[in-house]
Amino acid sequence: MAICHREIVRKFLAIVFLLLPLLWLTWAWKPLPPDGDSSRVRVDWLTPQVPPAERAALGAFTLQGLWRLQSDNQRFGGYSALVALPSGHFLAVSDRNGWLGFGPQLGAGAHVMPTGRTLVRRLRKGPNESFDVESVVRDPVDGSLWTGLESEWHVARIDPETGLAGFHAVPPLVDWPENGGAEAMARLADGRWIMLCESCGGGRGGLHLGLLFAGRPGLSPSQKFGILTPAGFDPVDMAPLPDGRLLILTRGFNLFPPRFTSRIVLADMATIDPKRPLATQELARIEGPALRENYEGMAIRTEADGRVGVWLISDANDTAFQETRVMQLWLDPARLPPKE
C-alpha cells in the first residue's frame, strides 16, 4: 500500500495520529448544535517578502496576497478544505472537523473570527464524534455542504436550513486506503461530481484514481477513472473554473530537508476516457521558501468584473515548523491553454 505524504510528515515530526479500526456505525441524522464560539486571530501580511522569481513561477496566476494566521484557540488550525460562500466570505474546515469563517479583506492585525468545533456530526457509540474532514463542496442548487471524509466510505450532506447532517454510502470507497480517502471533491457545472483519491494508484508516474458521479455522490451511479498529476504530487483539492475545466491543487513532500511544495494543474473532464488516464496540464509551481507551505484547501470565486480569484489555505499539522497561511491569486483566463 502506498504511504501518503501526510503520513510521512506526521511520522517525521513525531505527531502520530492513531487510526483505530472503525466500529460498525449507526448512521443517522442529527442537528448541529448552535456554536457561537470565536477565535482571536493575528494576521500578518507576507506579500512584500515574496521575490520576483517565486511570483514568476506562478505562471498564469498573479499573487494578490499572502497572509499568516495565528491563534491561541485550540480549535484553530489544521485546515484541509476551503469553501467560497455567496456572502463573499470563506469557510475553512479542519481535518479535526472544526471550522473557521473569514472575509476576503484580511488586513494585518488582530481579528475576531467565528470558529466552530464541529462541522459534521454523527450518532455513534461513545462520545467521540470527531473524524477527519478532507474535502467540502457547496452545492449551488440548494446551498447544502457535502464533505469527503478520511477513513470513511460515506459522504456527509449538511442541510443549509436545518443543519441536519445526513450520511450517504459510497461503496467504491471501501477499497480506498484509510489514509487516501476523498481528499479532493468538486461539483461540475453540468451537475456531475468528481472525487479524487490522494494515494490510490500509488502515484506511479503521477497516476491517481478517481470517481465520476452522474449526480450527487452516494445518490447516483459512479464510474472509476485514472488521472495523471505531476510525478510525486498528490491531489489535495480542486474546484471548477467558469469555462467548465477543473483546477486541481496538488502537493509534494521532500523529506530532506523537510518541505512541502505545490503544483496547480488543469484538467478537462470533457476529454475523460475510461480506457486511459486523464491528462492534466501544469499551470503553476509554489515551491520557493517565501511561498511554500502545506496547502490543502482551494476555493475559486469569479468577481463581478470577470476576474477569477483563486484562494488557498494551508494545514499547519499542529507543529511549530509549519504555519496557517492564506494565499490569494488572480487567474488570467487568457493565459490558460486552449480547450482541446
Model pLDDT for residues 156-167, shown as the tens digit of each residue: 999 988 888 899
Q: Please give the backbone phi and psi of residue 18, each rounded to the nearest 5 degrees, phi first.
A: -75, 120
pLDDT cut 90: percent of the chain above it: 62
* Higher-confidence position of 248 and 151: 248
* Higher-confidence position of 63 and 176: 63
Q: Name the grid cell of 178.
A: 484509510
**pLDDT beyond 90 at 97:** no
Could you report the per-residue pLDDT of 273-304, keeping only the tens digit for each? 888 999 999 999 999 999 999 999 999 999 88
pLDDT band at 256; cut points 50, 70, 90: confident
Q: Name the grid cell of 318.
A: 499542529
Q: Name the grid cell of 155.
A: 459522504
Could you report the per-residue pLDDT of 105-140, keeping only the tens digit for each? 899 999 999 998 888 876 454 444 567 899 999 999
Q: How much is the pLDDT for 122?
A: 61
Q: How much is the pLDDT for 163?
A: 82
Q: List beta partners, residue 55.
A: none
pLDDT band at 202; cut points 50, 70, 90: low
Q: How much is the pLDDT for 24?
A: 21
Instruction: Please give the average per-residue pLDDT across 179-200, as a whole number.
Output: 90
**pLDDT beyond 70 at 229:** yes
* Higher-confidence position of 4 and 287: 287
Categorise residue 335: left if φ over 0, alpha if ψ from -120 to 50, beta otherwise: alpha
In which element (H, E) is residue 8 found?
A: helix 5-12
pLDDT band at 181; cut points 50, 70, 90: confident
**pLDDT beyond 80 at 147:** yes
- What length is written for the chain? 340
Rounded mean pLDDT of the chain? 85
Instruction: Please give the average per-residue pLDDT across 153-157, as a whole number.
Output: 91
Q: Please give the backbone phi and psi of residue 333, each rounded to the nearest 5 degrees, phi first.
A: -60, -25
Helix, strand, coil proportions of the chain in percent (round to 5)? 10, 45, 50
Q: What's the CA gap between 297 and 76, in Å, rounded?
A: 15
Q: What's the CA gap between 254 and 257, in Å, rounded?
A: 7
Could you report the per-residue pLDDT of 49-96, keeping only the tens digit for each? 999 999 999 999 999 999 999 999 888 999 999 999 999 999 999 988
Could you report the per-residue pLDDT of 7-55, keeping only the tens digit for each? 444 443 333 222 222 222 223 333 444 455 889 999 999 999 999 999 9
Q: What's the CA gap between 300 and 312, in Å, rounded?
A: 9
Torsion of CA 323, 197, 10, 249, to 10 degrees: -20
Whether 154 contacts 169, CB under 8 Å: yes
